[in-house]
Amino acid sequence: MPGIAIAITVLIAALSAWVGARLLAGGAWGRQPGVDESRRNLRKVHSNPTPRVGGIAVAVGLIWGLLADGAWQGQMALGVLLLVCIAPGLLWGLIEDLSRRGAVLARLAFTAISAALGFFLLDARITGVELPVLDRLLAISAFSFALTVVAVAGVASSINMIDGLNGLSGFTTLLAALGLALVAWTVNDAFVFTAACAVAASMAGFVLVNFPRGRIFLGDGGAYFVGLVLALLSLMLVQRNTEVSAWFPLVLLAYPVWETLFTMFRRWRHGVSPLRPDALHLHTLVFHRVVRWKRRGATASDTTRRNSTASLALWWIPAVCFALAATFWDRTGALQLAALGFILAYGFLYRRIARFGVPRWLVIRVRLGQALAGPASAGSKIIFVNRFFFPDLSATSQLLTELTLDLAERAEVHVVTSRLKYDDPAARLPARAQYRGVTIHRVWTAAFGRFGLRGRAVDYLTFYLTCAVRLMSLVRSGDVVVIKTDPPLLSIVAAPIVLLRGARLVNWLQDIFPEVVGAVGIRLFSGRLGRLVQRLRDWSLASAEVNVVLGDTMREVLRRRGIAERQLCVIANWADGAALRPSAPEQNVLRGEWRLSHRFVVAYSGNMGRVHEYETILGAAELLRASSRIAFVFIGSGVRMRELKAEARRRELDLTFMDYQPRESLAQSLGAADVHLVSLRPQAEGLVVPSKFYGVAAVGRPVIYVGDPDGEIGSVVRRFNCGVAVRNGDRQGLAEAIRHLAASP
């Protein structure tokens, strides 16, 4: 899959859809067919007449994208067959859009024709769902054909069903296309990958016009078109790649599919035809009951803002489906549990909202004229966002706690964080709390563990989603929102909400992601995906009033990425000088408790993550094995701390490992050492700055820095003569430095 071909496909599809949508939205559609007027339909939640022919723009974008891809990669035949299969559903949808009349049976018939064509021409069929009874039935060709037609036509109708708010169906299908592209890329399915990229690009071009102002709607034609494409590509991906679970597309599209099935069941249960329209869909309930405001005096512009805000409030649902499907795409059991969990969660949420029991965390109160824009109010507040906060003992938590406590003396301060503790994965903190004037909002997040990449990805994604929901209800015009970098890329999620609310954005960067993961050898964000993430990250930084970085090298990295100098501010991390003071080793209580009173203690304190290195330290410990007076003590945790423990055990080295110490014992813990080790891989220089250095400096202990002597910490150590810098891999030099300090403390 040549990168140039993919780039051209995506660019052509996105530009074609965007230009087409702009042209269609700007025409004199008020006097022509294809205009949707809110008074004509009880399900509509907009005010102005709006063209509903966005499907034309999306179709044009996809067609041009597929043709460009076929010309470059020789896949023209498959692309043409895909378009032929979709044509009946698209054409009937456009007829409905232009005539403003819809015949349900005709709609189902034309989408069924598209599904049947896909079954025979593309081999897009359901042959197994990993459920024994159904699998035996699916071995019968007629049953497989019937189920395939019903499923594909159902997906097309389901996209149409959620097309009620600005950006809702667009965002849902965009994520679904990205999920297909991600898995197709993983299994090296070139056609599905490029076709899914073209769909995602076309939807992105359309969404830029559709959201947030609602200048054009996707319409029936667009909904059927996109739904059919996604359904057929999903079946092709599963059919052509046996490692992809048949449940992957079901979880990926769980929101529109279950919305449709639940709606039909709900109507049938109340004695109403399942095909009869109503205004009781989840998105219409959210519009009327979750996004609350005073109706009197509302203008058309206010209705549009409310519409877009309701859509934003629902984006987390398809995002959760995307995260689960993309993470467990090859694990049927996990996907089945995810599908069941989604159904239960959907039922709970719908029941609460339908009975006016809207969960408080979900309520969004929109003040007219100030919800999405407007002047700052007198009651502006400062909102910090980070995954960990007091009483957690991680470095980012301690820094944030110290800063917020100081600010709370002269401003209203809020912190949005998780209910987890970094040092105690089993702990669950209260959802809401007050601590010395700081209001703490703790949101739910998964806790699969920080030592596995997949589990950590799910933890991050769930925090993104629940945090976004909380920010939508908390942020007001004029607020200052400070975003930290745990979890990474949090600014991408927060920036649209902050800007939409008319607040001011500040990014406080502890590291530069995704470059930092590439520096430690993780290839997840290499190539096209990495470049896309970098561009989104850069956009979120460029949207901020200021970006706080930890050193000159970090500032230079971002400046080279195009971030303006005026938006970059260097503020190094710090330590609490009142709580951490120099003291003599013989006065330290912990040295006695740890039986280290008469030994020279070399300590490593804090997290040992992937950016830190222990190989040089372990090599020096081997060289000093015979020096019984020298003791190596490691305090803290982290993924590489576990590796270090295992390697020390294998080499039979006498190293001491301690858990994180309570915050009130931090001065004693840091003061228990005669010298502290701070390490950083050379590839990570300029992308992260070890914050543990500042606490060590505060207690007056020398530092041996294992890393680039000319880097951020190495330069400080040399400039202020507070220790020694040793290059990575120089275990002999590190051992000599320790011997020298032990001989002349």
- Read off the pLDDT of residues 710-722 as tens digits, 9 standing for 90 and up: 888 998 898 888 8
Q: Alpha-carbon distance 192 to 451, whole Å?
A: 32
Q: What is the rounded distance in angstroms from the CA atom of residue 551 to the CA atom of residue 711?
A: 10
Tokens of 278: 């109503």
Q: What would the pLDDT profile of 607-651 be if each residue is shown by its tens digit?
A: 888 889 999 999 999 999 988 899 999 998 888 899 999 999 999
Report the C-alpha gap between 52 and 381 in whole angstroms: 40
Task: Say how far residue 738 (Cα) sits from the centre of its chain.
Answer: 43
Quickly tell me which residue has 């912990």 as its tokens: 590
Q: Count of H helices and E strands in the chain?
A: 28, 18
Q: Alpha helix (H) ranges present in 412-526?
A: 453-474, 490-500, 515-519
Nearest one of 406, 429, 409 to 419, comparing CA atoms: 429
What whole-number distance in Å separates Cα of residue 699 and Cα of residue 697?
6
Residues 6+ apart with CB under 8 A from 424: none
Cβ proximity of 192 and 142 under 8 Å: no
Q: Which domains does the chain have, with CATH numbers?
A: 3-365 (no CATH), 382-570 (3.40.50.2000), 585-743 (3.40.50.2000)
Q: Read off the pLDDT of residues 415-426 as tens digits, 9 standing for 90 and up.
A: 999 988 876 777
Taking the C-alpha atoms of residue 169 and residue 166, their distance in angstroms, rounded to an integer, is 8
CB 287 within 8 A of CB 302: no
Low-confidence ranges of the chain (pLDDT < 50): 1, 28-34, 37-43, 46, 71-72, 294-297, 361, 365-378
Does residue 466 contact residue 445 with C-beta atoms inside 8 Å? yes
pLDDT value for 372? 32
Strand, coil or helix: what is 635? strand
DSSP 365-420: EPPTTTSSS-PPPTT--EEEE-S--TT--SHHHHHHHHHHHHHTTTS-EEEEEES-
CA distance linking residue 347 with residue 360, whole number of Å? 17
Task: Say what the pLDDT of residue 513 is.
Answer: 86
Q: Which residues pair with 440 in a beta bridge?
A: 415, 433
Is the separation of the CB atoms in 633 and 658 below 8 Å? yes
* 485-489 long-range contacts, CB within 8 A, separation 24+: 485/509, 485/510, 485/511, 485/513, 486/386, 486/387, 486/388, 486/396, 486/510, 487/387, 487/459, 487/460, 487/463, 488/460, 488/513, 488/514, 489/513, 489/514, 489/533, 489/536, 489/537
| CA trace torsion 307, 313, 318, 321 (10° rounding) | -170
pLDDT for the residue 51 = 67
Report the alpha-carbon distance of residue 6 to residue 134 in Å, rounded: 38
The answer to whether 594 and 573 have CB atoms below 8 angstroms apart is no
Q: Which residues pair with 441 in a beta bridge?
A: 416, 432
Check if the beta carbon of residue 701 is closer than 8 Å to that of residue 676.
yes
Length of the chain: 745
| 538 neighbors 714 (Cβ within 8 angstroms) | no
Residue with tokens 């260097």: 570
Task: Tell whether the torsion through CA atoms of 221, 227, 229 and 235 is positive or negative.
Answer: negative
The candidate with the shortest Cα–Cα distance to 634, out of 587, 583, 678, 584, is 678
